[in-house]
């Protein structure tokens, strides 16, 4: 399977999101997962054009997932030196759910669900900004109605489903070195996961501003779609759960609580292997 997602969907990013989708559709009319941020950077904007566009996306078979609430890390100064570097510098204070306490994580998830419900949308999945989830956020997710979540390296089926190692292909469009290096890393990731059950391709609004990245996106999609079926993340969660049930109904969970340690790419894990942070 191949999951293509459009991240950081909000009124402020909508034009770039549309350019990305147009680039994808120029290659193939495939189902997409749109990761929608209700109050992007706490801006009180509302866009009738965006909401109409997302209604149309749903009608054609795409999926809308909740992508945090503000996409801003308001707790970025908490934690040790490594955590502060990761959240202040590497992710530029966008890892919203990295260090939230359980009650606050649950509150923001509920606010996001309410925002979706006001528009008649019911998200199946939750993808944390910058793919960062702290223990409080994990606890809130376990209490939520979501079917799946994703971190950078894993696809997590909630409610007792499997966990699949699948590092995301992603671009670093914010600086010149990232724009040069990240397509090569994406190619290497695709090669590493050539025989894995799932490949994730994550596109962000800034990618649309650089023709060299757009061309790479299109070439990569052409190559991947020759061998993979494009699905939404919700459909992927269903398929992975069905696959685990049909192929290993009596499989025992691994001893490790971190599926990223000592396992080959694409390994399907029991839900008991889900990491705690």
- In order of 25, 146, 209, 236, 238, the CA distances from 170 in angstroms are 18, 24, 15, 19, 24
pLDDT tens per residue across span 109-121: 999 999 999 999 9
Task: Using alpha carbons only, give the angle 61, 63, 65 rounded to the nearest 5 degrees.
Answer: 175
How confident is the model over 203-232, as a mean pLDDT?
97
End-to-end CA distance of the chain: 26
Eight-state DSSP code of residue 253: P
Domains of the chain listed by start with CATH number: 2-273 (3.20.20.370)
Instruction: Tell me the torsion sign for CA atoms 249, 255, 258, 263.
Output: negative
pLDDT in tens, 218-251: 999 999 999 999 999 999 999 998 876 665 544 4
Q: Give percent of the chain above pLDDT 70.
A: 81
The reported pLDDT for the residue numbered 276 is 30
- The model's pLDDT over 150-196, given as tens digits with 9 standing for 90+, comes to 999 999 999 888 999 999 999 999 889 989 999 999 999 999 999 99
Identify the pLDDT of residue 262: 35
Q: Residue 259: is its pLDDT beyond 70?
A: no
> Residue 202: is its pLDDT beyond 60?
yes
What's the average model confidence in pLDDT over 186-212? 96
DSSP codes, 134-178: -HHHHHHHHTSS-SEEE-SSEEEE-TT--EEE-PPB---TTSHHH
């Amino acid at each position: 399977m191949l999951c293509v997602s459009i991240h950081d969907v909000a009124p402020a990013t909508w034009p770039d999101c549309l350019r990305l989708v147009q680039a994808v559709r120029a290659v193939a009319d495939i189902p997409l997962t749109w990761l929608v941020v209700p109050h992007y950077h706490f801006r009180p904007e509302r866009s009738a054009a965006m909401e109409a566009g997302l209604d149309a996306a749903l009608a054609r078979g795409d999926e809308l997932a909740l992508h945090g609430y503000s996409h801003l890390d308001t707790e970025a100064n908490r934690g040790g030196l490594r955590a502060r570097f990761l959240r202040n510098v590497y992710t530029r204070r966008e890892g919203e759910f990295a260090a939230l306490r359980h009650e606050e994580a649950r509150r923001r998830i509920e606010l996001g669900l309410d925002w979706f419900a006001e528009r008649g949308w019911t998200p199946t999945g939750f993808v944390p900004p910058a793919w960062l989830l702290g223990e409080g956020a994990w606890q809130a997710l376990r209490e939520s109605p979501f079917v799946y979540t994703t971190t950078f390296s894993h696809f997590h089926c909630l409610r007792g489903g499997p966990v699949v190692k699948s590092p995301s292909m992603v671009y670093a469009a914010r600086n010149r070195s990232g724009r040069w290096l990240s397509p090569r890393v994406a190619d290497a990731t695709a090669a590493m996961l050539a025989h894995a059950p799932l490949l994730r391709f994550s596109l962000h609004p800034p990618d649309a501003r650089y023709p060299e990245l757009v061309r790479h996106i299109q070439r990569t999609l052409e190559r991947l779609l020759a061998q993979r079926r494009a699905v939404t993340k919700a459909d992927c969660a269903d398929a992975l759960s069905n696959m685990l049930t049909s192929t290993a109904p009596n499989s025992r969970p691994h001893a490790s609580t971190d599926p990223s340690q000592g396992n080959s790419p694409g390994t399907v894990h029991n839900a008991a292997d889900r990491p705690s942070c």
